[in-house]
Amino acid sequence: MKVGLVLCPEFQPICFGAVAAFDIANKQAGRKLYDVRILSEQGGLIAASSGMQVMTDAFDTSAYDTLLVAAGLEIPTSSPGLIRLLRAAARDTRRVAAICLGSFVLGDAGLLNGRRATTHWRYAQALRDRFPSCRVDMDKIFIADGPIWTSAGMTAGTDLVVGMIERDHGAEVARSVAKGMVMYHRRSGGQSQHSTLLDLSPQEDRVQAALNHARRNLADELTIEDLAGVACLSPRQFSRLFRTETGTTPAKAVEALRVEAARLMLEQSRLPIEVIAREVGFANRERMRLSFLRVLGEVPRAIRSEAGPVAAL
């Protein structure tokens, strides 16, 4: 399978860690599953954000199985030529992917229209604003929507490539690659290594006050009336303002805060799961399990197992 890594000016060198997974797959298989080429719009030397220079081939309309776009630490400027090349390539390429802020290049080429995508959490709102027809999910490590793949932060590009390898050659090969790279086969959760409060990031002080109150009092019932009272609004006014400010409902925000708190306790303590459920406001472990599945896509016991011996019972 011919793979092209398309480098934007000022790209982040960590993108090579992602494509290294293809090399590991070749080594594990004992044959060349993937043929990786390093590309740029014009070819020749291209400078990374760190100042290092990398020799590239010119990106043309040659047939590729997979194209990955790598950008830098800021939203990239997509040249008209690169957009034309991506649009043309997308018609004949099995999948097109972006690592981190490379998603903006795919959006400029029209490849995110009507699709789900992700990017670094700090720039998720900018992606939503710039491409309103794209359904941005900021708490996924990577998303594969048909032939379009996008990843979150830079290291999430490696998760994305391992996901591609699993799609191409099965779970056993992907697990072998992940083990060889000393990484999880499937990282639990999403970009939740950043704070849920930072994720919601309301500008309105009354909404922020209600969220702070909720985080300090997770063991309480935290009804809409309670939170509206902290914000000095009626429940109806509060619900409307909260959704405008955060893009979600108060109930979902409280659930996310509880899951975040419970996850930390699972990873960093030896408390029984039943006790953790009560401490963060879930009525019982079953309700916590269902919330974990909704928010993180994993059950509490799996997260505790992945945390290692520190959290072992």
**pLDDT of the residue at 313:** 32
Per-residue model confidence (pLDDT) at position 153: 79
Q: Report the C-alpha gap between 28 and 25 in whole angstroms.
A: 5
Q: Alpha-carbon distance 274 to 297, whole Å?
A: 19
* Rounded Cα distance, 174 and 17, in Å: 15
Residue 175, amino acid: R
Instruction: For residue 154, give every residue at least 6 positions away whose Cβ sits within 8 Å of its Cβ, in sequence order, or none.
Output: 12, 14, 15, 99, 100, 120
Residue 193 makes CB contacts below 8 A (sequence gap 6+) with: none
What size, in residues, is the chain? Answer: 313
- Please give the full DSSP string across 137-196, using - where no structure is assigned: -TT-SEEEETTEEEESSTTHHHHHHHHHHHHHH-HHHHHHHHHHTTS-SS-SSSSTTS-H
Dig out the tokens for 137 from the structure.
């999910």
The residue written with tokens 């993937």 in the block is 34
- Which phi and psi (to 5°) does residue 69 adopt? -105, 125
Single-letter residue type at 250:
P
pTM of the model: 0.63
Q: Which residues contact 80 (CB under 8 A, 6 or more apart)?
A: none
| φ, ψ of residue 278 in degrees (nearest 5) | -70, -40
- Rounded Cα distance between 168 and 65, Å, is 11
pLDDT of residue 192: 43
Tokens of 201: 């990031």
Q: Are strands 148-151 and 95-99 parallel, antiparallel or unpaired?
A: parallel
Instruction: Kindly state the tokens that stand for 164.
Output: 């591609």
Selection from 251, 254, 259 nearest residue 292 by Cα:
259
Pairing outcome for strands 44-47 and 116-117: unpaired
Give mean pLDDT in consecutive 10-residue pieces for the chain, a chain of 313 residues.
95 93 94 96 94 92 91 94 90 94 97 94 90 86 91 87 91 85 57 56 86 92 95 95 92 94 82 92 94 91 71 35
